Amino acid sequence: MPVADEERENPVDPSVVDVDVLREWMDGHGLGSGPLTGLTALAGGTQNLLLRFERGGRADVLRRPPEHKRKNSDETMRREARVLAALVGSDVPHPGLIAAEPDETILGAVFYLMEPVDGFTPTTGLPELHAGDPSVRREMGFSLADAAASLGRVDYQAAGLEGFGKPDGYLERQVPRWRSQLDSYAELGGEWTPEIPHLDRVGDWLESNRPASFDPGIIHGDYHLGNVMYRHDGPALAAVVDWELATIGDPLIDLGLIMAFWPDEDGQPTALSVTPWEGFPSINEMVARYGEGSERDLSSIEWYGVLACYKTGIILEGTHARAQAGKAPTSFGDLLHATTVGLFHKAESIIART
């Protein structure tokens, strides 16, 4: 979640982060001296814990899994730290990595320290400068496309990410993987059935029109306006955040995600759009801007937009299935199911245009 400059009022729970142990660990790594002051839990969601503090006149942010970890939480944190280390020196805006600890026994979980990001998440509201000027919002859109293109330009092998993912057969695995996940929801029990429009048609089209090849690179994996932070003084990105789904594959996956969540030409908002929307580039302009900063073949870009709708819709449908089984709030499940339906309608419309 974003390292936002808005802070929670909740006190830090020492049972989650042992401040004395953290201080000793920092001493051992030459990371300042003296007490840790101003400890504040940062806003940004519930998936991971973000703790901002100061030491020796410098502000740091600790990121670690939540108190009740998922089975892959520690490995996910290791991967996040590894990709942030690989991006040092690149032109991809990202939180600066200070140090990482891969041993989960130190604080009860893998963690790393990063520099605070001075910025805001646009989906939670725009500052006066951005809200009052459509031309600023237009450049905000282009900044999002530029950062995605810059990530796709990084030589992942030279950056030390050999073995970080499995690019061989990456595109071939996509539809079977996500269809299998959808089918697995039946195991939750309840009365759920996959009442998703165009489900088979979209899957069949993806299989029949899959690009024959691609140039492997770094994928963020969850690239949209909710996972970036903008500078307060203009339309430039301050950082791309939330790298927990990063891997090596086809970087056009990230451009496809932009397509899935970008409002259509009528400007109707989506779950991850910004208010006001007036001024933002059209999706065609966004794709063209990406192409200006990339040598990748965009001739099949519609395929990536359809895949993003297919994949994201199936992921969201999982909450609907859990709600039908009494394992999640019904209202929330219904809301996400409606989003899934909308994504599949969008996929069908892209197919029809193609």
* CATH code: domain of residue 165: 3.90.1200.10
Same domain, 105 and 176: no
CA 8 to chain centre: 21
Tokens standing for residue 224: 């949209």
- The answer to whether residues 67 and 160 belong to one domain is no
| Final residue belonging to a domain, choices 89, 114, 139 | 114
pLDDT of residue 189: 86
Q: Exposed, middle or buried by CB within 10 Å (0-12, 13-18, 19+), for 269?
A: exposed
Phi-psi domain of 270 (left: phi exceeds 0; alpha: psi -120 through 50; beta: other):
beta
Answer with the one of 114, 141, 160 that is the final residue of a domain: 114
Select from 120, 2, 122, 117 the least CA-distant residue to 50.
2
Q: Tell whether 101 and 132 lie within a shared domain.
A: no
Number of domains in the chain: 2
Co-location of 338 and 207 in the same domain: yes
Residue 42 carries which DSSP code?
A: B
134 Cβ neighbours under 8 A, 6+ residues apart: 276, 278, 279
Residues 281-287: contacts with CB within 8 Å, 24+ apart?
A: 281/138, 281/141, 281/142, 281/145, 283/258, 283/259, 285/141, 285/142, 286/141, 286/142, 286/144, 286/145, 286/258, 286/259, 286/262, 287/145, 287/255, 287/259
Paired with 54 in beta bridges are 37, 59
Residue with tokens 């690179």: 217
In 3-state terms, what secondary structure has residue 313?
A: helix
Inside any domain, residue 6: no
Does residue 296 share a domain with residue 211? yes
Residue pLDDT tens, the chain, 354 long: 333 333 333 444 545 789 999 999 999 999 999 999 999 888 765 578 899 999 988 999 999 998 888 889 999 999 999 999 999 999 999 999 999 999 999 999 999 999 999 999 999 999 999 999 999 999 999 999 999 999 999 999 999 999 999 999 999 999 999 999 999 999 998 889 999 999 999 999 999 999 999 999 999 999 999 999 999 999 999 999 999 999 999 999 999 999 999 998 765 667 778 999 999 999 999 999 999 999 999 999 999 999 999 999 999 999 999 999 999 999 999 999 999 999 999 999 999 998
Measured distance CA(279)–CA(302) in Å, rounded:
23
Residues 69 and 195 in one domain: no
Q: Are 49 and 179 within one domain?
A: no
Q: Tell me, what CATH number does 74's domain have?
A: 3.30.200.20
**CA dist list (Å): 29 to 36, 63, 78, 305:** 15, 17, 18, 44
Please check whether residue 70 is in contact with residue 244, taking contact to mean a CB–CB distance below 8 angstroms: no
Range of the domain at 56: 19-114
Tokens standing for residue 186 = 């039946």
At residue 257, what is the residue type? L
pLDDT of residue 266: 65
